[in-house]
Structure 1
Amino acid sequence: MRSLAETLRGQFERLVEEGPRMAREAREVSITESSRDGLVKVTVDARGSLLALDLDPRIYRRPDARSLAESILETIRRATDAAQERVLDIFEPAVSRDDMRLHLQGTPDQVVEDVEDRLNRREGL
Structure 2
Amino acid sequence: MGATERPDVAAMRAYADELRQMFNRLQDEGLELHAKAKAVQVTETSPDGLVSVTVGARGELIRLDLDPRIYRRPDARALADTIAETARKAAAKAQENVMRILEPVIPADQFKAHLDGDVETVLARLADDMGGGR
Percent identical = 54
For the pair shown, the structure with the greater C-alpha radius of gyration is 2
Query: Equivalents in 2 of 1:38, 1:5: separation in Å?
Result: 51
- Gaps in structure 2 of 5+ consecutive residues: 1-11, 117-134
Q: Which residue of 2 aligns with 1:23?
A: 34
Partner of residue 78, structure 1: 89
Instruction: State the alpha-carbon separation in 2 of the partners of residues 23 and 11 from structure 1.
Output: 15
Is the CA contact (8 Å cut-off) linking 1:47 and 1:104 kept in structure 2?
Answer: no
- Whether the aligned pair in 2 keeps the contact of 1:34 and 1:40 (CA below 8 Å) is yes
Letter of the 2:34 partner, please give it.
A
Count of aligned pairs? 107
Distance in 1 between the 2:90 and 2:80 partners?
A: 15
Q: 1:9, CA displacement in angstroms?
A: 1.0
Of residues 55, 59, 63, the one that matches 1:52 is 63
**Structure 1 residue ranges without an equivalent (≥5):** 106-125
Q: TM-score, normalised by structure 1?
A: 0.80
* SS of aligned partner of 1:98: helix
**Higher-RCO chain (CA-CA 8 Å, sequence separation at least 6):** 1
In structure 2, what residue type is equivalent to 1:38?
A: G
Distance 1:102 1:16 in 2: 22
Q: Which residue in the other structure is 1:94 paired with? A: 105
Residues 31 and 82 in structure 1, CA contact (< 8 A), matched pair in contact too: yes
Counterpart of 1:113? Answer: none
1:64 aligns with one of 56, 75, 94: 75
State whether residues 43 and 51 of structure 1, in contact with CA within 8 Å, keep that contact through their aligned partners in structure 2: yes
Counterpart for residue 6 of structure 1: 17
- 1:102 Cα deviation from its structure 2 partner: 4.2
